Amino acid sequence: MNPVPENDEEVLKHGNALAASGNYPVGTNACFNVGISGGCGIDCFEYRRGGCDEPQELVPRIEDGEAEDWTLEDHYELYPK
């Protein structure tokens, strides 16, 4: 099991390793690489900069208080309704 990518450089390395395995296409995005590594969530760097492919999936986690420092206002600032 690989560690979850935590920045763009790690995402690129992870994506290249997946492509080299022959089982994944070249050019997977950050959201895919973080998610397939088990790191999808409120603390994901890609989500927090507004690049998440499925941001609405995280709203219930925010409402449940999973991240004390993240609010729905923060979410909707990055991902307007």
Instruction: Tell me the three-class secondary structure of 6-72, residue by residue.
Output: CCHHHHHHHHHHHHHCCCCCCCCCHHHHHHHCCCCCCCCHHHHCCCCCCHHHHHHHHHCCCCCCCCH
**64: domain range?**
8-78
Those residues with Cβ within 8 angstroms of residue 12's Cβ, 6 or more apart along the chain or in another chain: none
Render pLDDT for 15-54 as a digit per residue (tens, 0 to 9). 999 999 999 999 999 999 999 999 999 999 999 999 999 9
What pLDDT is recorded for position 42? Answer: 94
Residue 68 lies in a domain: yes
pTM of the shown model? 0.89
Is 74 domain-assigned?
A: yes
- Asked, for residue 60, whether it belongs to a domain, the answer is yes
pLDDT band (50, 70, 90) for residue 59: very high
pLDDT > 70 fraction of the chain, expressed in percent and rounded: 99
- Assigned domain for 22 exists: yes
Mean pLDDT of the chain, nearest integer? 94
1 within a domain of the structure (yes/no): no
Would the pLDDT of 1 be above 70? no
